[in-house]
Structures are given as structure tokens and as C-alpha cells.
Structure 1
Amino acid sequence: MLKKFFLGLFIGLFSMALMMGAGWVALNWYADQPVVSTVERDFTIERGDSLTKVAQGLEALGVLEYPEVFSVMGRLSGIAGGLHAGDYQILPGISRRELLAMFTQGQVRYYDITLVEGQTFYQELERLNAHPKLTEPVKREDIPDLLKSLGIDGAAEGLFYPDTYFFEAGAPVRSILARAHKRLNKVLEEEWLGRAKGLPVDSAYEALVLSSIIEKETGAAFERPAIAGVFVRRLQRGMRLQSDPTVIYGMGERYDGQLSRRMLREKTPYNTYVIKGLPPTPIALSGREAINAALHPADGKSLYFVAKGDGTHYFSESLVEHNKAVRKYQVSERRSDYRSTFEVN
């Protein structure tokens, strides 16, 4: 009797082991199969989503069959509660095992936004606030607190580096600004340490102010050092910079797209036709090339330049030569998209 009992128990346990083995083999086969979808799919895991909810969402999206088995696979792996919230790109051909690993390792989709050189801080802040994947927009009333948190004592303008920044969905706007400010400090420090001698700027911040004017004045990148040379020589001689972009910046929202002689005579802290030296702050975001140009201006004797209407400039050493160039490019050959600096006095 006892012998029959143990024989039955052995057969039962053996059968159970066979079934468990078969189940394990089947589960591994399921895990190694590619997802059902044959096209790329975007999928979002929200904070707090359970494995069951994720599996059901994948089924609804047409990525998975048998979501219950996917859930069992995750639980047997001991990672059911280790899902990383975020946006994911699910590529066709990825196995279900790889899919689960992607969710638990946080291989989320990254987005990017580019801060553009020559744009103002408020222009770029507006773009950041409007990005659908960034959160916690920074309003104007939040800016003093933002600057304080970044250790900025003064204006925000120009203190954020124009570059492309990658981020996960849901990142706060402040996180991009913090990275851009840190990057600006690093680039500015590197460039300032390697500056040329005898420059008419006493600090890295003054160099940044000058670089922002160069950035706004430059149409063709190769002209940055030449434009920097003009401004540096004018500063060294005590001449006013007479840069249209500084006037426009100082007018703020009052600028309607046209500069008049009256505007050039209006006294603002930024009107370099009126004030001597540099304006009090940068007027735009500066890239490394503009910063480098400000600290390594091209040699020469030119003190004036005028836009030729094709993105480049004509450089002159004397006012007489400059006035001739102005008449040529401003009047005789003026294009509809013409822009200039240093008006005829």
C-alpha cells in the first residue's frame, strides 16, 4: 500500500515537473518571439503604472498578444514593479524579453530642443515653454527665482548657451536652462583663458556682451573675426560702436521693424549711437564662434562696415570710404532685405 502511495506521488511530482518544464520552455519561447507590430510604435508608461496595465496597453496598441503571459513573464523575472516611466519607441522585430528589459532599464525615448544663437533669452524661453514634452513652464514672474537658483546676480540675457539639449519627456523647463547656463559658463571660461592680449574688455562678462553684438551683426560666419576687429578698434579709440542691433534691443517691443534717425538718437542704455562703450548686458545668446571672435579679433585697420545685402559686409578704414559704400549698397544696389550698421553721420 505504501509502495503504491510513493509510486503515485512520484508519478504526480514527475508529471508536475514535466508540466512546469514545458511551461518554462513555452514561456521562454514566448519571451524570445518578436512583438506583433510590424511598424514603429510610440508608447508611454506613466508614473505608477502596473505591469498588468502596461501589458494591456501594449495589446491595445497592437504590439502584444496574450498580455497575461507578458505579465507572468515579468513577475517570474522579479521585475514587475521596476518599470521606468517615460516615452518609448518600440521598433518592429524587438523581442518581448528585450521589450521588458527596455522598460525596466529605462531606455526611454529622448527629445531635443535647440537654443539658437542670436536669439534673445525671452524668445528662447517662449520656445521652451511651448515644447509639448517639457513641463513646468517658467513664467516671467518666476525668472527672479530661477536666476537666484542658478546663482545669477543680474539680467538673464545672454547667460544661456545656444546648443542642442536632449531630455526625457516630462523634464522641467528649468532643467534645460540650468544645463544651458552651466554650458555657457564652461565655454566662456575656456575662451577667456585663451584670449588675445590688449583687448578693451576687462572681464569675461564684457567679452560676452561684445560677442552678442558680433553674433547679431554677423550674416556670414567667416566674417565674425573681421566684425570683431572693427568693434575692438572702435572701443580702443573711444569711438561709439554704433550698432543697429543694440538700438533695436533697447527699444524692446516698441521696435516695429524699421529704424529711423529719431530712434538712433533716442537715449537708452543700449543705444550705442548715443552711449560710449558696451551696453550693460548682452543683447542675445552667443555661440562659441562669436565668443572666440570677440577674444581673437582679426587684425586690420577697418573701422566701419556696411551690409552688402547678400549676408556679407563691405569694410572701410575711413568715413569717406564708408560713406561711398553706404551710398552704393544702401541706395544704388539696395535689396529689399538689406540691413546695415553705422549710418552716415
Structure 2
Amino acid sequence: MQNQSFVTEFVLLGISQNPDVQKIVFIIVLLVYIATICGNLLIVAAIISNAALLGSPMYFFLVFLSLLDACLTSVIAPKMIIDCLYEKKTISYGGCMMQVFTGHLFSGAEVIVLTAMAYDRYVAICKPLHYSSIMNSRLCGILMGVAWTGGFLHSIIQILFTSQLPFCGPNIIDHFMCDLYPLLKLACTDTYVFSLLVVANSGLICILIFSMLLVSYAVILFSLRNHSTEGQRKALSTCGSHVAVVVLFFIPCIFEYARPPVSFSFDKIVEIFCTILTPLLNPLIYAFRNKEVKNAISKLCSRLMIVSVEK
């Protein structure tokens, strides 16, 4: 099917068309975005500056998770912040396709990184004697390559069929961003097959991986019965952070894509949670629940203060 699109730009309705609400959204999203970028980059800098942590697979993956969170929120938040200053919010056709592509690229890669982190915890707790030989630097590098490749393949599949949709009528998107289901509603063709592709390429994958992760953590919990009380406490603390992040990421993803393309009044709230709040909560969860990360951040801040005083 060739693209018969006559639409060169889309109009976004945003969170609300009420000017007072838009001012509140502008302030909140701006503050959250700044906090998200600062929080995630602080974790990245703290781990990279600490050779002992960077050499650990768990923190190696955490660096990539933080970078992906910073990138994911940067796909949506800046445009959303700027749009709050204008009465008419528009995005070009090319900009819309780019937003779909990059959003699914980073979220697709994050799915695989979270899976790699769960596997790392499984090996560390269930096969501690073989941990260093299994989770070596080569495997960690391969897993990161798989994450980026998987994210790219997932995203390119989405954009290939989305760019083939003809848009020849209404161009108003009742959302603050471009995404698959809002675009399907505007297409001048039967989108049933495309809807099935979205469910298969996003929804079912989310359900499958989420189920696998839950099973892996169940196996980890079952194996903890053979550990000491101190070992159980430390393992539960670490796994608790991972489980919290996994739930925050996958539940909204499943709700968004593992269903028919119907609109709900709270879709925008779910999307805000996915793209704005979750990237902020991830560094908070890891920073406050992880002693090593807190110590690394404290050391980094101390060094930065010393450098600034010397200058």
C-alpha cells in the first residue's frame, strides 16, 4: 500500500486547552524533566567515576538504564513543555514519525536492559559460585548490543507500517504526543490489521517479557530459603528495587498496547506516567534503596565541591 498522505502536520490538543491548566502543566513538567535529567545523569556520573561499581554488571546495566530513561523522557517532555506556551500546538509529519520511532527505540531497548538486570540478579543469587565466569564483560557487552539492536528492530517495524498509513482527512490528535493508536484513528483506511500488528509487536511482547521476569523473581525468592538472614535481606533489598522498576514500566505498557485501539479518558495520564514520571522514579528508587549508589553519589558530590572551592 502506497502512502497517500496529504497531511503535512498534526495538531496536538495537549493535556488541556484551559490556559490556567496549561500554566500548571508547564511548571510541573519542567520541574519533573529537570529533576529526571539531573537524577539520571547523576547516577551515571557517580557510577562511571567509581571503578569498583562500574566493574559490576549490575551497575553497568544501571548506567544504561539511566541513560535510556533520560533519552526516553527527552523525546516527549521538551516538546510538551514548549507546547504549553502556545495556544495552537503542532508537530510536522516528519517530527511525528520521529517521535514515534525514538520513543519506541528507547523503550524497546529498556525492556531488554531490564531483562538483562533480572538475569544478572538470578545468576548472582542462584549461581553465586559461577557469577564472575557467567556475567563477564563480554556477555555484558553482548547484552547491551542486543538491547540496542532489539530496540531498533522493534521501532523500525513500528515506523515502517505507520509511515504507510494514508492521512488525508482530520489532522487533530487528542493527545500531547504522537503515538500509534492516536495516529491509527486518523488514518484514511481500515486499520484492523495495523492494530493487530501493534498488539503483537508491543502489547504481547510486554506481557511475555513481564511474565518471564515475574517467574525469574519467583525462582530467586524460592532459592533464597537456603541463604543466611543477612544474605536474604540484601538480596530482597536489591531485587525489590528491580521489581518496583519492572512493575512501573511494564504495567502501563501492557495497558497501553495490549488492547484494541480504543480511547479511554485516562490514556493521557497513563502516558504521562510512562514517559515523564517513571524515568524520574527509577533513579529515586535506586538511589534511596541502594547503599553503594548513595555512597558513590556522596563521593562524587564531595569531589565536585572540592574542585569548585579550589577554583
TM-score norm. by structure 1 comes to 0.20
Question: Which structure has the larger Rg?
Answer: 1
Point out the structure with the larger strand share.
1
TM-score norm. by structure 2 comes to 0.22
